[in-house]
Amino acid sequence: DAKTTQPTSMDCAEGRAANLPCNHSTISGNEYVYWYRQIHSQGPQYIIHGLKNNETNEMASLIITEDRKSSTLILPHATLRDTAVYYCIVRPVSGGSYIPTFGRGTSLIVHP
């Protein structure tokens, strides 16, 4: 599975957009990019995923570069409740025996 690299920490002002980058330069053509977040003391929660095209849901937007070597998770109007650790992972399109593997992620702090 491809490895991902994320900044250790970021901060953002409440109401502004939070842009969280992820590098996955060794991603293969049959791997999705997934994003999860973990709010303090809770289990990780799925946010969004994508393969090639940009994706948007009620929680966030995912922008994937054309070469697929990096992506950005965008929280368009960050709130204090978005303070969490954000994990970017890759997974094969065909599940098989895939095991979700999480690194240290990016700790996002949203301040007033």
Partner 1 sequence: NAGVTQTPKFQVLKTGQSMTLQCAQDMNHNSMYWYRQDPGMGLRLIYYSASEGTTDKGEVPNGYNVSRLNKREFSLRLESAAPSQTSVYFCASSEPGRTEAFFGQGTRLTVV
- Any contact of residue 95 with partner 1 (CB under 8 A)? yes
- Any idea how long the chain is? 112
φ/ψ of 50, rounded to 5, equals -160, 160
- Any contact of residue 53 with partner 1 (CB under 8 A)? no
User: Which residue, 46 or 77, is less far from partner 1 as judged by CB?
Assistant: 46
The CA distance from 79 to 27, in Å, is: 31
The CA distance from 50 to 48, in Å, is: 7
User: Which residue, 12 or 85, is less far from partner 1 as judged by CB?
Assistant: 85
List residues near partner 1 by CB under 8 A: 34, 36, 41-46, 49, 87, 94-105
